[in-house]
Structure 1
Amino acid sequence: MFSTLLRRIGLLPGLVLFLLGLGAAHPAQASHLLGGEMTYKYLNANGPAGNTLRYEVTLIVYNTCVAANNGLIRSSYPVGIYMQDSGAKLNLTTANNSSASGGNMYVQEVSSRVCTTPNVPQGCAIPAVQQPYIKQTFVGIVNLPNTEVGYYAAWTWGARNRNIVNIGGANSEQYDLGLYCTLAPPTLPNSSPQFVRDAVANICQGDTSYILNNAVDPDGDELVYTFGNPYTSPAGYSNQPPPSPFIAPLPLIPFTNAGYNVLNPLGVPATFPGTYASVDPQTGICKYKSTAALATLYVVAVDVQEYRRINNRRVLIGTTRRDLQLIVVECPPATAPGLPTSTGGGSIPRNYTIEAGSTLTIPLTASQVDGHPLVMTATSVLLDGPGGYDGTLGGNAGTLIAGTTSGAVSINGPNGNVSGNFVFNSACANARATPYDIVLT
């Protein structure tokens, strides 16, 4: 079972560090999309004349593995670009994007196609069904005219897989998957938060499951997490970007019936006793419990809002959407791993303030009473590998996660115990008033 190992650590003036913790109507053959997310990076203003602003757009799509056998896996996708104030669609050419066609930019596949099953804790076996998936990452660079208002990048495609109980039941494949992101203007140089875990997950039948939907923000902006309503494409615009004008958001998919809503995507407790869903607004940790039959599928949307202090005002910079799928599985009985809340010297701090140029060492230990083998994984921009930030876990500087600025380190522990020191040797250039995230699972 998935369980919370650690919560958060933060520092303020000089250097800031947060520790988060967690644990555990289309043709039928076209119903293959499980979820996804769209993010962007502002690169610079060194583009060609008339299109000086350079943005990198990243689209992540999760497909069913059978899609590969049906020829439904694509090597590129069209993405529309729109003015944020009017919604007017830009007619892009190869001057804007090297692969542009039909007025759209194209993002190209940069990942390998591997059929993967949702993460299962080491030493556990989940019988019966799971939801294997292929995760694809697409990237494209677009050059755009200077603007004071910013742009939208939008993508829709068909179709979602069948039998998603909360958005149409047996007819859920009639709905497309839709995503968009807000490209901030150069006066607010910004890059989207980046999710650190995949968007397909098991939840245990009749037991509480904790799923991490935390994101790392490269700009250090404040992040707030909420549930959202899944998107689809505008009527008549499947398998292509929305028409002009595009007025955010994309069309909302109606929930199956009154038993489901945005705040209760797995079902209203009065209608489905024993079922609930929640998301921690600060950490992105989602807590789910479902009493539905095994192999029941749900779609859940998690929104991450970016806030930045500008002239002493809290300003919303943009919102990043993760559309993910959950499947109900049978989990073996197990006691969740635990993190000590205190040491011999007192309680373990969750917030640290250090002076730039000093070293911070945090001893981390987790245990499991049944003696199951444990794996502790830390994910952070501070673990971006040799030559980057000088952070380590267990002496390991980390390995970059493809498509992100974050790296990860894993430590194995036999017999129900795992431990390691997180060490950050800070430099003067690392000082900032906003937090660095560390995600521990």
Structure 2
Amino acid sequence: MELQYRSGSTYTLTLNLYFDAINGNPGALDQQLTASIFDKVNNRRMQNVSLPLVGNTFVQYTNPACTSASLSTRKLVYSREIILDADLYTSTAGYYAAIERCCRNNGISNIVSPGAAAQTFYLEFPAVVRNRQRFIDSTPRIFPPLGDYACKGEMFYYDFSGQDADGDSLAYDLVTPLNGSASDFDPAPFQASPAPYRLINWKPGLSTTNQIPGAPTLTIDARTGRLMVRPSQLGLFVFGVRCTEYRNKVKIGETRRDFQLYTLDCPRNTKPSLQVFNQVGGRAYQPKLDTLRLIPGGNRCITMRFTDPDAGSRLTLTTLPVNFSGLAPTFTTTTTGTVHAPGAPDTLSATLCFPECQDTQGKVYLLDVIVADNGCSLPKKDTIRVAFTAIPPANTPPVLTSTFPSEATPATTPIIVRIPVGATYTADLTGTDADGNPLTMTAVGQRFDLAAAGMRFTAQNGTGRANGTFTWLASCEAAQLQDNLTVTFQLQETVRCTPKPQTRTVQFMVVPAPDTTNFLPPNIITPNGDGKNDAFELTQLPPDLCDGRFGGIKIFSRWGNEVFHSPARTFRWNGSGSAGVYYYLITFTDGRRYKGWLQVLP
């Protein structure tokens, strides 16, 4: 069973039931099943949920060529969205869900009276609220469908590891399957009974730790969920696995699952063999003794020879990084082939090459090279663990210079360039590379388009050298985009290994144009009509700057009374017909203010 969080108080409850399509009773293929949810503290029934059948598909074999007419499995999926109300599901001990169904296959070999033994599907989950906060949890999705069979006397292995959407820790162990209260008289109860549930009865000599006769018997890795057994008897065997879920080292839930494993007599399958040859004289690589050392300019390829004594065996090579991720070697030749068949060779070979840019940074990396056959029921494998160190080609960083000011400033500190409005600014950039690598130069505005700000950048890229030219017309429109226009200039090597880009970050600012006018207003007027100094007017006011425009003029008498005002740069005042001393105030919208006095003579 699975319980997956959706949103709010909505979850999806799902039962995945694997149905024996050969020995199972077609009448037992239910169209719906009932799940019951209980409080773990007192077994109080919280709700019953009817789960309809929403999926019915056949389970595929790991190796389709190993299909057996005596084994066919269907995956039946029962599912429905449910509500776990935050006001109800608050028990600190958590809850459990159960579905009961009878009965098991008569052909099961390792339990007593399988035809009368029921099944109880079971999971535990935590309260949906903890410490007055919503506690979101999805149970782990584990146990992939088991469609394969095992071969008597051969090692059988399967990966039961789960995936948890919440990142919780998972632990695995074997458990005795639950029986429950269902019976052949009431095989599908309308609701599940509360815990505790009866267990199935093992046949003599078998137990929870010895569920399938074998050497070794059935085991599961507590951390990885890897299941292994070498069965010593033929038959159909049931076994139980539990996955326990932990968060911050505290158990929050568990999921139990029953499985069936069929053990058959299989044709004998011999394990394939693999040899790896390193680059020194073609000597065979010796695991745990040799370490490949990959250096610039050296051979970075190894050769593999692989074979299998079985006639017509089809072999496949793969690799698996053990302690590293990222760059991995690749095969340059075919990795599959058939041996010991008419027209086929006895031994196959392949070449594996490590990337030129592989860099182990002084550590020893481990790579498993694996050859697998196509034997039944599962492939047999041979693995060689290759240890290697790798150094990529050396690369000298390119050099970026420019005519921007403060060139000695570290690249992490922005360069500040202040340009008067209306002025044009030009800067040249040069990139060189001692290794002669191809260079590319770019310029990118941070959150603005260069062209929209009146900026233009052109580059001449090349091998070992690149040049760029930046021009800017500092306009009021540019100033309106942002207070500071930040541009990142980058010099990039177009090389495969360890490129080392160089950058310059420059902030451009629009500032007022220098005031070149000789702003000395006249301080005497003679409004006598002779055409000379008849009025007070200013034809050379300081210039407007973007939003800093002429706001107006006011003229006051010596007693502070306003006698004139005008919002126009073309104002004209004739003295109002009264001689005396007056005072004026000129304002601009950006806060600039000019004051002075004026004498009116008769």
> How far apart, in 2, do the equivalents of 1:239 and 1:265 lie?
27
> How far apart, in 2, do the equivalents of 1:204 and 1:135 lie?
23
> How far apart, in 1, do the equivalents of 2:54 and 2:350 lie?
35
- Cα distance, 1:71 vs structure 2: 3.3
In percent, how many aligned pairs have the same letter? 23
The equivalent residue for 1:87 is 43
- Cα distance, 1:145 vs structure 2: 2.8
Find the residue that maps to 2:261 and give its secondary structure.
strand
> How far apart, in 1, do the equivalents of 2:307 and 2:39 lie?
56
> How far apart, in 2, do the equivalents of 1:368 and 1:184 lie?
51
Q: Which of 150, 155, 159 is the equivalent residue of 1:208?
A: 155
Write the deviation string for residues 202-246 of structure 1: whole angstroms up to 9, x where unpaired: 1111111112222112222111111000111226664126655x2
1:329 aligns with 2:264: yes
- Residue type of the alignment partner of 1:290: P
Q: Which of 212, 232, 239 is the equivalent residue of 2:188?
A: 239
- Residue type of the alignment partner of 1:148: T
The equivalent residue for 2:395 is none
Residue ranges of structure 2 left out of the alignment (5+ in a row)? 280-284, 289-302, 321-325, 339-347, 354-371, 373-378, 380-602
> How far apart, in 1, do the equivalents of 2:170 and 2:95 lie?
21
Do the aligned residues in 2 keep the contact of 1:200 with 1:325 (CA within 8 Å)?
no
1:284 aligns with 2:225: yes
TM-score (norm 2): 0.44
- Cα distance, 1:201 vs structure 2: 3.2
The equivalent residue for 1:162 is 106
> How far apart, in 1, do the equivalents of 2:319 and 2:30 lie?
32
Do the aligned residues in 2 keep the contact of 1:176 with 1:232 (CA within 8 Å)?
yes
Q: Which of 179, 202, 211 is the equivalent residue of 1:265?
A: 211
Residue-pair matches, total: 304
- Cα distance, 1:131 vs structure 2: 2.0
> How far apart, in 2, do the equivalents of 1:80 and 1:419 lie?
58
The equivalent residue for 1:13 is none
Taking a change above 3 Å as real, the CA distance of residues 162 and 346 of structure 1, as seen in their structure-2 partners, is same
Q: Which of 307, 319, 333 is the equivalent residue of 1:369?
A: 307
Find the residue that maps to 1:111 and give its secondary structure.
strand
Pairing of 1:36-185 with structure 2 (within 5 A): 38-45=1-8, 53-66=9-22, 70-90=26-46, 92=47, 104-114=48-58, 116=59, 119-121=61-63, 125=66, 130-146=70-86, 147-149=89-91, 150-168=94-112, 171-185=113-127
TM-score (norm 1): 0.59
- Cα distance, 1:197 vs structure 2: 2.2
Taking a change above 3 Å as real, the CA distance of residues 346 and 261 of structure 1, as seen in their structure-2 partners, is same
Do the aligned residues in 1 keep the contact of 2:118 with 2:181 (CA within 8 Å)?
no
Do the aligned residues in 1 keep the contact of 2:125 with 2:252 (CA within 8 Å)?
no
Taking a change above 3 Å as real, the CA distance of residues 74 and 256 of structure 1, as seen in their structure-2 partners, is same
> How far apart, in 2, do the equivalents of 1:286 and 1:208 lie?
10
Find the residue that maps to 2:71 and give its secondary structure.
coil
Taking a change above 3 Å as real, the CA distance of residues 242 and 73 of structure 1, as seen in their structure-2 partners, is closer
The equivalent residue for 1:353 is none
Question: RMSD of aligned C-alpha atoms?
Answer: 4.1
- Residue type of the alignment partner of 2:90: E
1:228 aligns with 2:175: yes
Greater Rg over alpha carbons, structure: 2
Find the residue that maps to 2:38 and give its secondary structure.
strand
- Cα distance, 1:414 vs structure 2: 4.2
- Cα distance, 1:291 vs structure 2: 1.9
Taking a change above 3 Å as real, the CA distance of residues 133 and 126 of structure 1, as seen in their structure-2 partners, is closer
- Residue type of the alignment partner of 2:161: N
Do the aligned residues in 2 keep the contact of 1:67 with 1:73 (CA within 8 Å)?
no
> How far apart, in 2, do the equivalents of 1:200 and 1:369 lie?
28
- Cα distance, 1:126 vs structure 2: 6.5
Residue ranges of structure 1 left out of the alignment (5+ in a row)? 1-37, 46-52, 93-103, 349-364, 379-390, 395-410, 422-439
Find the residue that maps to 2:55 and give its secondary structure.
coil
- Residue type of the alignment partner of 2:153: G
1:194 aligns with 2:144: no
Do the aligned residues in 1 keep the contact of 2:176 with 2:208 (CA within 8 Å)?
yes
Find the residue that maps to 1:290 and give its secondary structure.
coil
- Cα distance, 1:110 vs structure 2: 2.2
- Cα distance, 1:418 vs structure 2: 10
> How far apart, in 2, do the equivalents of 1:76 and 1:207 lie?
39
> How far apart, in 2, do the equivalents of 1:338 and 1:263 lie?
33
Taking a change above 3 Å as real, the CA distance of residues 172 and 308 of structure 1, as seen in their structure-2 partners, is same
- Cα distance, 1:198 vs structure 2: 0.9
